[in-house]
Amino acid sequence: MKLQELLNKRSEGKCELCKAENNVTLYEVLPQQGNNEDDSIMICGRCKAQIDRLEEPDSKHWSCLSETIWSEVPGIQVISWRMLNRFRNESWATENLDIMYLDDENLAWAKATGDHENDTTVHLHKDSNGTILQTGDIVIITKSLDVKGYTLNAKLGTVVKNIRLVPENTEQIEGKIEGQVIVILTKYVRKQTI
């Protein structure tokens, strides 16, 4: 039986963290690469986005960890411990961390990514209004900009389609204006809503 089939059976088609039933996919708990039942879990899209820091964390969503900390599946224990540590400044998370037990091997695994040293801060690409930007979005330039290295001037109101996020800098996006790919600061754009 394939790994995904085994995990679907174990999880009964639900997220093994929050019990959501939609958009549930296989998630490998890093840095383990054993590709087995203990190293992988089934999670929903919302849990995945927050674990991977692609979405603002919602502590109410993670109150489900009060139950999942008792799971016997090592991957679920590790992710539960990591997420509780992100919310360690909140009393409910501290209380759960105090009563949670991880053996030495799983605790070392949980600490291996260093995620427990970080808080819930998520660095996302946001436009001038604070709206989250995604690759492929359409933005409108909110200030006339001179483009360095080109004779091009990106005028106020210019529409830039199909943007790309600059991965290592949340204050920059890439977009094409008059056939030239340029870097644009996110503080000078607003997302176009359809």
Specify the CATH number for the domain of residue 178: 2.30.30.40
Give the domain extent around 164. 139-191
Is the domain of 105 the same as that of 60? yes
Is the domain of 40 the same as that of 93? yes
Residue 167: inside a domain: yes
Is the domain of 15 the same as that of 63? yes
Is the domain of 43 the same as that of 87? yes
Task: List, as own/partner pairs, every contact residues 78-81 make where C-beta atoms lie below 8 angstroms and the sequence separation is at least 24, other chains included.
Answer: 78/29, 78/102, 78/106, 78/109, 78/110, 79/17, 79/29, 79/41, 79/43, 79/51, 80/17, 81/107, 81/110, 81/116
Q: What is the rounded CA–CA span in Å between residue 85 and residue 21?
A: 25
- Which has more pLDDT, 20 or 56? 20
Give the pLDDT confidence score for residue 178 in this predicted structure.
85
Residue 182: inside a domain: yes
Please state at what angle helix 74-86 crosses helix 104-111, rounded to 10 degrees: 50
Of 11-20, 71-80, 111-120, the least confident: 111-120
Q: What is the rounded CA–CA span in Å between residue 147 and residue 179?
A: 13
Is the domain of 143 the same as that of 178? yes
Residue 95, token pair as written in the block: 């209380």
Contacts of 160 (CB under 8 A, 6+ apart): 138, 139, 140, 141, 175, 176, 177, 184, 189
pLDDT tens digits for range 40-51: 999 999 999 999
Highest mean pLDDT among 12-21, 30-39, 167-176, 180-189: 12-21
Is the domain of 32 the same as that of 86? yes
Q: Is the pLDDT of residue 121 over 80?
A: no
pTM metric for this prediction: 0.71
- 21, with CB counted inside 10 A (0-12, 13-18, 19+), is exposed
Residue 126: inside a domain: no
Is the domain of 145 the same as that of 84? no
As for how many domains the chain has, the answer is 2
Residue 87: inside a domain: yes
Is the domain of 183 the same as that of 90? no
Residue 131: inside a domain: no
Domain termination residue (choose one: 71, 87, 117): 117
Residue 106: inside a domain: yes
